[in-house]
Every structure is written in C-alpha cells, then in structure tokens.
Structure 1
C-alpha cells in the first residue's frame, strides 16, 4: 500500500537532513553549565574579552522564558539541573558585565523556584548535585550576585553542604569506585580541597581534556594555562560550535545506536531500512575487531552502549556474544559500586535488562545479567530517593515499571510505538556528571511528526481493513453461528498490531481470516458439533467436497474454501505455482487433530504427554494461521515449507511454544469443560505433584523452546526460511504470549478492549511543550522569606568555610603553554578563580 505524500515527504526530508551527512554533534543537547564555563575564559591576548565569544552569546540568547538555563522536562518544567546551570550562566554574564536583564531574570527564577526544586531532592540529593550546587552558590556570591534562600530552606542547604563535605573527605581525587572521579568536577571543587597544578596535569588525557569534561577542562586551563587544554577546548568549539555538550568528544557510535533505537521505538524502521543496516554493519565491524571492551571512566555509558549494541545487532541477525556487554559481571568492584549507587545506573541497567530479552539457550551470563539488572530496577521503583533523582526524566520510572511488568514477547509493536510517541522523551543517559548526558535530537520534532503521521496512517488502514473483515464474517455466516466466540476484532487486532514490518494488506487479511476460521471451527468441535457431524466435516475437508454438508459444517467449509481460493489465486499470479493442495493439506491436518481431541474428550481418554503434544501442536493452529499468509509476503515462503511433515524447525518450535502458552492459562476452563490439557495430564502422570509444580514443569519446557525459537528467528544462519517469514513467526509468538501472558485474555470479552481502542480507534495524545509560570514555593506561596547573607554565612561556617569562596588553586613555578600572561586577569576573574 502506497504511503501518503505527506509521509513520503517527511521521510525524504529526514534522510536528507539527518543521514547525509550524519553529524553526531547535532544530536547531543547543549549543556548550559559547560557552555558557561567556556564563556568565562578570557582571551589570553585581549584579557578584557572572552576567548569563546560565541559561548557567551549562546548564554545570552538561550535563557528559558521562565528565567533558567539548563535541562527541562517535556513541558519546559525546570529540573534540579537548572539550579547549578543557571548560577553558572549568571556568573559568566557577570564576568563580562553583560546581560543585566538576563541576570535579573535568573535571580528571580532562583528565588521563586529554589525551594520547590531543592525540597524535592532533600532525601536523595545526587552526588553530582551535592558537589556542583554548593560550589556554584559560592561562586555566585563571590561574583556579587544576591543569592537569597528562604528560611525554610536553611536545613536543606545545610544538608547539601554537609553531604559535599562528606564526599570530599571520603573520596580520593581519582579512585576506582566513583565514576566520574572527583577531579572531573574540578570547576566545582573548593580551595580547601587543595589541588595542586601537578595533580591536574597528571590526570589530563592525551586530547588535553580532564576526563572529557568541558567545564572541568576550562577550569584546568584557567588554573594552569596548559596548551593542551586550550587545544582541546578549541577543537570542541570548532567541532560543535558554541553549543558545548556535557562531555566531549561525542561518542559517534553511541549517537548512531541511539538514533537507530529512537527510530525503531517510534515505529519508523520501515522507512529507513538501508540507513539502519549501514549503521549496524559499521558497529558490528567495530565490535568484532575489539577483543575486549575498554571501560573508560564512565562505566554507565559503556554498559549502556554495549548492551544497546548487543540488542540492536542481535535483532538484526548478527552473531554477537553476550560478553560484549556482560563484561561488567567479571568485575566485582564494579558490581559493588553499581549496587551502592544504583540510581545513577538506571539507564544502563534498563538497557541491560532489555538486552537480556534476546536470550538463547544456555546463555547463563545473560540470565545472570537479567537477574542483577532486574533486582536494581525493582529497587529503584520502590526507592523514594530514586524517584526524586529522576525528576529530570519523570516518565522514566513508568517505562521501567512497564518493562518489568510486561514481558517483551507479550507486547505488540503498534501499541509500543504509541507509548513511545506519547511519552515523547528524547534518549537520555542519566549519569553522575552535573547534567545528564542527553542524546537530544535536534530533529526529534521531525521524527516525532513522522511517527504521528505514520501511526495515523496505520490506524486509518486498520479501521478500513477491520470493517472489510467484519463484512466477510457476516456474509459467510461466521459471525452468526449462535455459539462460541465471535473474535473477528480480536484476531485482526492481534495480527495487525503485532508487527511494524510493512506487510501488505493481503497478508493481514488472510492471517485474520485464518484466525477467525480457526476460532469458529475449534469452538464447533469443542462445544457444538456431534461426533457424526465432526467426522463428516473432517472427511469433507479430506476430499474437499462439501455438497453433503449442512448447517454449521456447511458455513465453515464454504468460508474455508473461499479463503484457500483467494490465497492460491494471489500466489499463482505472483509466483506461477498452484499451492491449493499444500493449503488443503495443512487444514486437513488441523481438522484431524481437532477430531482426535474431540474423541479423547468425549471418551474420557487421557493420552500420554507425548501423544498429547503430537496432536496439540497441530490443534493450536499457529502454523495454520501464518503459513498461508507467508505465501503472500515478499519474499514469499517456498511452497515445500508448507507441507505437513516438512515444516521448518522454526515452525515446529512455534507450534509447540504456542501450545504450551495456551495450556498454562487454559487448564482451569478446560477442566470445567471436560477437555484435555497438558497441565492436567502431568498431574495424572505425577500424582505426588500439585498444580504449581505442574505449571512450573511446563513453563520450564516453554522457556527452553522459546529460547530455541528466538535463536532460529533472529539468526540468519539458522534454517533456509526467508528472514521476513521468520519475523512473522516472532509476531505470532508475541500474539500468543500477549493473549496468554498472565490470564486467558483471548476468551475474555473485555480484557483486550482498551488496547484495541488504543490501537485502532483512539487518536494519539502527544505531549506538547508549553510555557509555564514560575513554580510555586513548597508552602504554596509565590515567594518565601529569603535567607539573609548572615544566615548563609552561618550555614557555610558549619563546614569550616567562609561565605564567599575565593577559588584559588595553589600554583607551582611551571608555566602553561600560553605563558604567564594568562593569569594577568581582570580583578573580578582573579577573585573568582
């Protein structure tokens, strides 16, 4: 089906603006905090002017309407990041005596919102904030800015200063247990910490940076005049312009992985197939030539990146080892650090947990990683301090809860895309540095707009096709049988929304018709037809002659004959082969299995487990639904793979997996109806076992078979079936997992209605940004009583500091690459540093 012109236009525009060429710096949100620090650096040759004038201009021109700089939520609600960022930006403006009105507006924001923002953090102040916020307050006061806090905040501010004091006393400048290390916060460390120039120079990276932090490197340059620091900063500005990121260099590979992830979760992958393949092929090549992963200084980032790469590559069919991201399990010190600081590793652990969804058989390291990450994510959900720390990303906890509550295989792609569109949050990697490392797409609005248009287009198609199917079931009498389940809407909903792949309309229609016929016929065998009627219908299917049939049997036969005629006609036009016999044989095999189960039930015969599974694999009818549909795909399923006895391993694994899923959730109903079920057979063969043990036994088999099935679906070298056909097997598994995840949702008249409405009928509810007034203070008033300078001084004295820090670093006799002139600075700058 041809895409609307609006969708095509959006796709083409995004390809031109994002992918050719793809500039990673355009995908990282600027850090107001780091930009402000570069703006403070004087020109060594013209000390009365800033060296990076563009950064100062950026600060002047990028103040939020509410008066703050820094990160905000979707609706421009400020985060706690905005406090140190706003203070730093005001100091940068004060250094150069510009932006008086900006400073006034920033002070108004601080005074109006500090209480609200700080009290939200009082029980869970992040490490980065405890280091940065006091330092920026001291710096602002040193600059002569009138920073005043309400009396009610005195205790909160004291607690933050006390936490900083504790951090500075307990942590070494660089150790193996804190990421990033203290020295990466150089710009925020007070003079009392007594850092010497040689300490700074010793820890400079080869690129001249201090742990790739622009703000810390700017401070290092102002303290040492080191030429390498300046070369790093100049390179940064030349590469990224005046939009300074919170870390540099930007990890180009991570950016590309996050872009692919964003495109896929918004449901746009079908529009960028070649671009995604090119990116992942490049990433795969890089991972294959690296025998071990270099952990770097930001462990969270490395874990996040490696686990994301593993998931995307494995989903694409690449053969990748779990150890490309499970390496952290071999480092006891890292595990201990993650557990102690779990709130800073939530993005990484979330990515790890999602990667372990793609677990094959005998991958014990993935099971270990899954258990470890799940435990930490569950801890985060129940932790108040974590929830407060995540105010920068308010939807993230809901996403974590969704991930833990509903298994990946139980989710339908179309509904997942809706969730991500409506959440409308950018990729965010929350780390310990002052601002979260946010992969904020400048083109995210374009991607979001395309996602909205694409989702609406799918909904319009789904509505039209569902109405067509309802007419078909009514015309052939299937919706008026007077017994059993009328599940046309359920069946179409499952087929249409289980995948984002660009299947054509015929594929969806045929799969749904097959599912409707399976449901109606299964009910007829279970609850309505006599043994004579069932035998006559089965025999008619064998010879494919329905003239002698009447009543319900006649309705079923005519509808099935119409379905097979449609499939064979379309396939013959496409491929030039007649597959009538193959399709009839599949359906006859299924009727035979239903007939066998009807005889067992009515004779009260209990088969062995092996007998039952041999028949039950066919009677569940998963293959009966998808194999005819696969014939109409491009590339289509080779007709020899449709013949009973010649099914591919992937199809057989799907058949047994769906049977086990059904039996775990349906045993109670089938016990009441007098039907056979694997749970009940196991209990009869093992009288010492109880129902929980029986279910556990079957679930263990199911987990093993699903792991094998997943490997056959995802790995390109497993079997000869075309990849799109294997992907439809995955969709079928997800449908059964969704219907039989925790209850028998397929038999419920109401359980699926909400999801059906969201998938097909209800319009999207996309969050839109809009300006908000200043946040009220914690007690509900607009303004609190300010903390006086004397009160602030008393607070500072509790920590053995003067109220105004002079930020002077002891100097050695060595000079920097720019010579001693660097330190002949304006009086205020000298006071500041």
Structure 2
C-alpha cells in the first residue's frame, strides 16, 4: 500500500475521464502469454469506427414523458404529509434510538433535503443527551452505536470510532456474540464506510461484518426475505457509495413491504419522488430539444449519442428539484465530454488532435481555420456553449468565470492528447504515469469546476484559490471515477488490446495477475474514499452543497460502472435504472 498512499497524497497523481470504451483498429493489441503482455501488429486503417450502439431513447419518446404528477392536488397533498413528517422529527417525546431510526428512514426515503434544519436540530439534541448520560450507562447495543456514528459523521460531527472498542472481546477482536445480530451487523457494516485514513477499527469492522453477513445470506433469504434483500443490497454496494435518488426508489419499495411501515412517511416519500420525477422529465425534454438542435449526433456519426445517459449522470450529481439549472449545465458538459472523447479516442489523427487541443488552449474563434471540417463543428459548439454560460454568470452575478472553465477544458484535452500519443506510439505507461494523467482525462475536474459556479454565486478571490484541480474534493472523486471505470471495462479492453488502463499498466509493470491487479485498484478506490471522507469532515472553504456534489460524482461513478460500462455501452440493467429514476413513477398505495 506504500504506492497507494503516495499516489493518493501526492496531488500530481490524479486524473479521471469519461473514457474507457472501445478503440478498435489503429492501436497496438496485447495478448497475455506466459504471464506477460505481448503485442501484435495494428490495423492499417487511419479512421476508426467504434460501431457504438445507437441510443434506445428516441427524441419523440423523451418529449412524450409525463408521469402525471404536475397537478397542484399532488403538491397540496405532499405539503400536508410533509408537515406531519416534520412533527415526527421535532417531537421531543420520542426516545433517542427511535428518533435516529426515523432520521435514517427519512433520509433513505429521499426526504432528507426537505428537513435539513429539523434533522440538524434533532442530531444536536441527541449529542446533548449522550453527553448528559451517566457514564455507567454508556453501554449501548451495536445497532444504536453504529447508526448514531454513521448519522453524526455524515452530518459533520467529530465522532470517534473508538466507541466500537466496547464491542470487542479480550483478544481485541469483535465479539462473536454479535455475529447473529443482523440489524447490528448491517448498521456497523454501513458505518464502516465513513472511515478516515488510519482508522483501523473500521477496517476490522468491514471484515467482521462482511464475513458474517455473507455467511448468513442463504439462511436469512429462506427464512426472512426482507432481511435477505437488505443484506444483498448492502453487500452489493454500501449505502455511503450509492446515488441518493436511485437509492430512494429502492428504499421506498423495500420500506413499503415492512409490516410496521409508517403510511404517512411512505406516502410522503412516494409523492415527493414522483413530483421530483416530473421536474426531471421537464429538464430532460429541454435538454433533448437542445441536443437535437445542436446536431452533433448526426454530424459526427462516429461518436456516441448518449444524451439520456449524460442526463442520468447529471441527476446523480444534482437530484434535488431546485437544481434544474445545474442539472442542465452538467448534461451539456457531459455531452460535450463524451463527443470530444470519441474524437480523441476513435476518429481523429494525432496531427488533428494536436490542432484541436491548441485551439481550445487559445480559446480563439480564429483558431477554427486550422481545423478539419468535423472538428470545426465540434469546436464551435463547445465555444458557443461555454461562452454562453460565462455570459449568463457575468450578467446575473457579475463574475467572469471564463478563465476557470477554459483552463479546465484545456487541461483535460492535454490529458486526452497524452493518451492518444501513448496509443499512437504503442506505449504502455508506468502505472503512476498512467494514473497521474488519467484522473485528469476522466473529466471529473471539468464537471466539478462547472458545478462549482452553478452552485456558488457569491465567492471571493480566496475561495477561488481553493478551486485547485489538485484539491482532494476535486481529485479524490476523479480518482474514484477513473478507477471504477477501469475496473468495469478492463476485461473487455484486455481482449481488445488497449494499452492504457490501470489494470493493464499494473499487470505490465509488476507482473501481477489480472485478479491481483483488480484487488490492488479496488484498494486505491477505498483509500480515495477515506481521504474524501476526511476532507468532507474538515473545515472547508467550499459550501456544503458543493462538497456533497463532489461526493455524488464518486457515487454516480460507482453506479454507472457497477456492472459494466453503463455510459459507453448501456445494457438492460443500466437502462432499467434510468427508466425507474426518470420515466416511471411509483404507484401510490391503494388505501390512503
């Protein structure tokens, strides 16, 4: 892990991108022979075609979306229910543990953003109550200790993981008596993923809970279907790393199956989900019209048409209804990233790519004259869109944000160009060299720089100085983005013979097996999460909204690449997620 620590702590080691898809033809291919990577000659074709699947989401379909929850009667009903939920949260007579469980349910059901102040006050009251308790009565059950730790740390409280020492035996191992406590194990498992670097007890908790939850899966599934679903869901991906709105849909359906489900809370969550979904549909329809008018998908036929997937990515980072403008901006940014990525990865010659990079670095309309026709279309579309964003920021808020936006685009394209040179030269870079370039090329910094200016309209020169690409809240989510992508696509890329990928670079440099290389890269993902957790919990010049958006970039990366390349090659699983989040409302209970 020495290399992992150096790579994560050294700012020069980070960069990510919306890449990792097919690069057929024109690149040196590799086969694993006797434990080593060997090459065979590339194709002679100058222009490549990745043969990307067409989008399954037609313009007419997107324009027809209407879940039926735009009527005022639904808003009125939701307001009444939300007031009932608010009274539950602020009720001073509720015991501490039930209050924590209520807060957890409210957040997981997708209603947390409605009750920021009430939840903050309730947690503050819980902390005060804990401090006043008699020291001899500090013994709590594992579930309460773990749930309180997770909720408090998630909301920025300085809480030590040493509270879990009391659940260990004389040999300093977690006590075996907890191995059959399903509720406690699940709570401790979820809490362990909010750890910081060096918090070894939380690493022990991960191993302990994962082992016992995995062991009890078969028995619980046969005897208690709901607990079995909860365990499978948690082991598949911990709560802290899940996209919040998609998790809300899953939790609403799971919560509704409980015998003791609170009907008021459940109906409020369903209505909120459906009403927010109607807002998302309106945003998507506007973006669909914008994308059609832009014409890049038809003019650049070699590139991926991924408007819906880009919008899904934007929703993953900004799901709350008040963030429509941010969602639309991020959709535009990710559409351009995807298209330009294909220019560099698939179609452009090295000479053309150098010209395009120089044009973006200059950010001068006159630079277009040196570009081939297909690049002129792409450059002008990007130039006009970013300039319009800048104009609106200057008009509305008096800030010229153009230097920050263009610098981010230029940095990313230089990283794109470096990857193109490696491909052209048939070169497998050292692991560190690859990662140093790849966390930039993955596009996370470009996305977050744009998000920053849409979330913050009043900022000082001092706060802008924190907007350094190497700051951990920009770097760590980008590392996670890059490595999640590599983990999902490395097998296919090995088969296609792609040279630049963290798995391939690790195997080539160290002689490690593919399996061990995957394990190593997953450990780097974990380390990046710990560093990001730590940075989130410290004093920061960034707003809480921006910090959460940066965390959400890491979360949507896990979501998109959990089962494969959900962006470049969406399958039925990724399309079903989009459908559940954006297209299909949740049915309201019949007996309301």
**1:473-529, Cα deviation, whole Å (9 max, x unpaired):** 222222222113221111111221455545511100111111111111111101101
**1:594-638, Cα deviation, whole Å (9 max, x unpaired):** 111111110113333332222212111111112112211156676
Residue aligning to 2:542 = 721
Q: Which runs of 5+ in 2 are unaligned?
A: 1-69
8 Å CA contact retained: 2:489, 2:565: yes
Residue aligning to 1:382 = 218
8 Å CA contact retained: 2:480, 2:525: yes
Alpha carbons of structure 1 residues 336 and 525: separation in structure 2 relative to 1, 3 Å: closer
Residue aligning to 1:566 = 388
1:578 is the counterpart of 2:400: yes
Q: How does 1:616-631 map to 2 (within 5 A)?
A: 616-631=438-453
Select the residue among 93, 104, 111 that pairs with 1:261. 104
Residue aligning to 1:652 = 475
Select the residue among 472, 484, 500 that pairs with 2:303. 484
1:734 is the counterpart of 2:555: yes
1:15 is the counterpart of 2:83: yes
Alpha carbons of structure 1 residues 537 and 14: separation in structure 2 relative to 1, 3 Å: closer
| In 1, Cα distance between equivalents of 2:134 and 2:472 | 33
1:398 is the counterpart of 2:216: no
Alpha carbons of structure 1 residues 644 and 361: separation in structure 2 relative to 1, 3 Å: closer
1:614 is the counterpart of 2:453: no
Q: How far has the Cα of 1:16 moved from its partner? A: 5.9
8 Å CA contact retained: 1:310, 1:325: no
Q: How does 1:250-649 map to 2 (within 5 A)?
A: 252-288=95-131, 294=137, 302-325=141-164, 327-330=166-169, 335-339=175-179, 342=180, 345-383=181-219, 387-388=222-223, 390=224, 394-408=225-239, 410-425=241-256, 444-480=262-298, 481-498=300-317, 500-546=319-365, 547-548=368-369, 549-634=371-456, 641=464, 647-649=470-472
Q: Which runs of 5+ in 1 are unaligned?
A: 26-250, 429-439, 771-833
Higher relative contact order (CA 8 A, sep 6+): 2
8 Å CA contact retained: 2:90, 2:118: no
| In 2, Cα distance between equivalents of 1:308 and 1:457 | 30
| In 2, Cα distance between equivalents of 1:761 and 1:502 | 16
Residue aligning to 1:693 = 516
8 Å CA contact retained: 1:653, 1:705: yes
Alpha carbons of structure 1 residues 374 and 499: separation in structure 2 relative to 1, 3 Å: farther
8 Å CA contact retained: 2:352, 2:372: no
8 Å CA contact retained: 1:582, 1:643: no
Q: How does 1:186-205 map to 2 (within 5 A)?
A: none
Alpha carbons of structure 1 residues 598 and 464: separation in structure 2 relative to 1, 3 Å: same
Alpha carbons of structure 1 residues 478 and 636: separation in structure 2 relative to 1, 3 Å: farther
SS of the equivalent of 1:702 reads helix
| In 2, Cα distance between equivalents of 1:469 and 1:11 | 29
SS of the equivalent of 2:429 reads coil
Q: How does 1:792-807 map to 2 (within 5 A)?
A: none
Q: What's the RMSD between the two structures over aligned residues?
A: 3.0
8 Å CA contact retained: 1:571, 1:577: yes
SS of the equivalent of 1:383 reads helix
Alpha carbons of structure 1 residues 654 and 528: separation in structure 2 relative to 1, 3 Å: same
Q: How does 1:131-170 map to 2 (within 5 A)?
A: none
Residue aligning to 1:828 = none
Q: How far has the Cα of 1:279 moved from its partner? A: 0.3
SS of the equivalent of 2:137 reads coil
| In 2, Cα distance between equivalents of 1:610 and 1:401 | 35
1:702 is the counterpart of 2:525: yes
Q: How far has the Cα of 1:731 moved from its partner? A: 0.6
8 Å CA contact retained: 1:716, 1:723: no
**1:267-309, Cα deviation, whole Å (9 max, x unpaired):** 111211111110011112333556968366xx6xx22222111
Residue aligning to 1:163 = none
Alpha carbons of structure 1 residues 670 and 466: separation in structure 2 relative to 1, 3 Å: same
| In 2, Cα distance between equivalents of 1:569 and 1:648 | 27
| In 1, Cα distance between equivalents of 2:211 and 2:268 | 37
Q: How far has the Cα of 1:336 moved from its partner? A: 3.5
8 Å CA contact retained: 1:679, 1:698: yes
| In 1, Cα distance between equivalents of 2:130 and 2:501 | 47
SS of the equivalent of 1:749 reads coil
8 Å CA contact retained: 1:326, 1:369: no
| In 2, Cα distance between equivalents of 1:619 and 1:642 | 22
Larger helix proportion of the pair: 2
Q: How does 1:37-52 map to 2 (within 5 A)?
A: none
SS of the equivalent of 2:304 reads coil
Q: How far has the Cα of 1:423 moved from its partner? A: 2.6
| In 2, Cα distance between equivalents of 1:599 and 1:643 | 32
Residue aligning to 1:228 = none
Q: How does 1:760-779 map to 2 (within 5 A)?
A: 760-766=582-588, 768=590
| In 2, Cα distance between equivalents of 1:303 and 1:252 | 17
Which stretch of the first structure deviates more once superposed, 8-17 or 315-324? 8-17
8 Å CA contact retained: 1:267, 1:451: yes
**1:556-607, Cα deviation, whole Å (9 max, x unpaired):** 2122123312322332244321111111111011111111111111011333
**1:353-388, Cα deviation, whole Å (9 max, x unpaired):** 12112122122211222222233322332116x743
| In 2, Cα distance between equivalents of 1:649 and 1:411 | 20
8 Å CA contact retained: 1:636, 1:722: no
| In 2, Cα distance between equivalents of 1:638 and 1:293 | 49
Residue correspondences, number: 515
8 Å CA contact retained: 1:589, 1:644: no
Alpha carbons of structure 1 residues 608 and 397: separation in structure 2 relative to 1, 3 Å: closer
